[in-house]
Amino acid sequence: MGKLIINGGKRLQGELSLQGSKNAVLPVMAAAALCTGGNGSASSTGKITLTNCPVISDRFCAGRILSSLGARVTGSGNTCLIDPTYIDNSVIESSLMRSMRSSVIFMGALLGRTGHCTLCYPGGCDLGPRPIDMHLSSLRKMGAVIEDEHGKIECTAPKGLSGCRISLSFPSVGATENIMLAAATAQGETIISNAAREPEICCLADFLRLCGGRISGDGGGRIVISGVEKLTFPEEEEFSIIPDRIAATTYLSAVACTGGELLLTDCNPVHLEAVIPVFEQMGCYVRCFGSSIYIHRRERVKPAETIRTMVYPGFPTDTQAVVMSPLCTASGTTVFVENIFENRYRHTDALCRMGADIRAEGKVAVVTGVKELYGTTADAPDLRGGAAIVCAALGANGTSEIYRTEYIDRGYEDIDGNLRSLGADITRG
């Protein structure tokens, strides 16, 4: 079992190029399954080139799903090449389904591509109940017949999928993506109201538009999709995945934990508008210019105003854990209210073992700053919770050993190499 060994207390300093977004690359890879080959001519094969892909295990899991469906997935480093021409299978094995939550968005793509799909309930981080009722009811509304027996989901679209009006009871990111994928090649127009507005939704819409999809309104609460006959990735084009706003916040939090300065390049500061003011409240000096963010933390951090997780453009639930780490040693108390998931304070046990004073009950966590944290041994409880423990350990006195690193590697590209390049004493054991 892999572990990260961190000797804390080293000030971070330097420059880092930010990775591409995990939550953007996964739906785009699912969308690749919807694309059919070019127009048959030798110059138009319909092969897809994705750049700025993060080198993380979830991306490779999506690649394995695509390969199991009959696509050819190659490429190295940050480039992923997908040839979806020969997709002929629409059954996703349960081992692949269970390895990540995003496997569920292949449902909309496969229904659109083959008119059928068989899968089981997805896995992913345990953040409390994660139902997919909105995904299923929306696809049913579009004409899918879905049988859900003992966790096995069998979907068919005997008459094809048809556009319709869908009003989401909550702006679910995954449900919005699944509907967009199913609607892209459905008959007629689909209107999603109360749609998710996250930047990753816009990235998916940009990819679909590049392939000939007709979508408008993404980034707002009302998305209109007019189904087209087929989607084809244009020859000679490349599609670049947006920067990862959650990884960006993690590196800013790491610096807020240790003190020091960081220039984070290749990011989109606009996507971080809800989190940057929190670092400023902590007393960090933060400046954004172009696609870079500079952060400098000199003094002990100050407490922040109450942090309430919200859908975009509010404060992201995915950054709640990592932002809590520096606030554990603030000169006062910060209150967190987690509004999106029921069980997203699982990192607090480890932080308390490090000496933090955190009272978490239900949606609320009260973090009273202590003078310092101490190294500990802990399991990463989930992806972002694991990253939060890494940040806290970087700023703590003494050595920490963090196990279950497979959670962290699902979403962070070379987190130990990146932090080492900034002066952290972090190794893999």
Residue 347 interacting with ligand UD1 (CB under 6 A) = no
Q: Does 340 bind ligand UD1 (CB under 6 A)?
A: yes
In the region spanning residues 193 to 212, those forming contacts with ligand UD1, defined by CB under 6 A, are: 200
SS3 call for 353: helix
Q: In terms of CB distance, is 6 or 166 closer to ligand UD1?
A: 166
Residue 119 binding ligand UD1, by CB under 6 A: no
Residues contacting residue 217 through CB under 8 Å, at least 6 positions apart: 195, 223, 224
Q: Shortest CA distance to 228 belongs to which of 189, 191, 193? A: 189
Alpha-carbon distance of 167 to 321, in angstroms, equals 31
What is the DSSP-derived secondary structure letter of residue 229? S
CB of 20 to ligand UD1, least distance (A): 13
In the complex, minimum distance from the CB of residue 371 to ligand UD1, in angstroms, rounded to a whole number: 32
* Residue 26 engages ligand UD1 in binding (rule: CB under 6 A): yes
**Binding-site member from 261, 318, 382, 413 for ligand UD1 (CB under 6 A):** 318
d(CA 211, CA 106): 17
Considering only 3, 8, 23, 356, the residue that binds ligand UD1 (CB under 6 A) is 23
Per CB under 6 A, contacts with ligand UD1 among 147-176 are 170, 172-175
Q: Which is nearer to ligand UD1, 134 or 295 (CB)?
A: 134
Taking CA atoms, 244 is separated from 9, 21, 25, 270, 336, in Å, by 26, 4, 10, 12, 23
Residue whose CB is less far from ligand UD1, 88 or 133: 133
CB of 370 to ligand UD1, least distance (A): 28
H/E element, 22: helix 22-32
- The CA angle 425-426-429, to the nearest 5 degrees, is 135
**Nearer to ligand UD1 (CB atom), residue 317 or residue 418:** 317
Stretch that binds ligand UD1, among 84-92, 129-137, 223-231, 298-306 (CB under 6 A): 129-137
- Nearest residue by C-beta to ligand UD1? 174
- The residues assigned a catalytic role are 125
Nearest alpha-carbon partner for 322 in 395, 268, 262:
395
Q: What is the bridge-based pairing of β-strands 333-337 and 364-368?
A: antiparallel
Check residue 143 and give left, alpha or beta (phi > 0: left; psi -120 to 50: alpha): left
CB 228 to ligand UD1: min, Å:
24
User: CA–CA separation, 125 vs 73, rounded Å?
Assistant: 25
> Shortest distance, CB of residue 114 to ligand UD1, whole angstroms?
23
Nearer to ligand UD1, 23 or 325 (CB): 23
State the minimum distance, in angstroms, from the CB of residue 44 to ligand UD1. Answer: 31
Contact code string over 94-113 relative to ligand UD1, x by CB under 6 A: -------xx-----------
Q: How far is CA 153 from each of CA 7, 58, 68, 97, 121, rounded to the nearest angstrom?
A: 47, 22, 18, 11, 7
In the complex, the residues that contact ligand UD1 under the rule CB under 6 A are 23, 26, 101-102, 129-135, 170, 172-175, 200, 317-318, 340-341
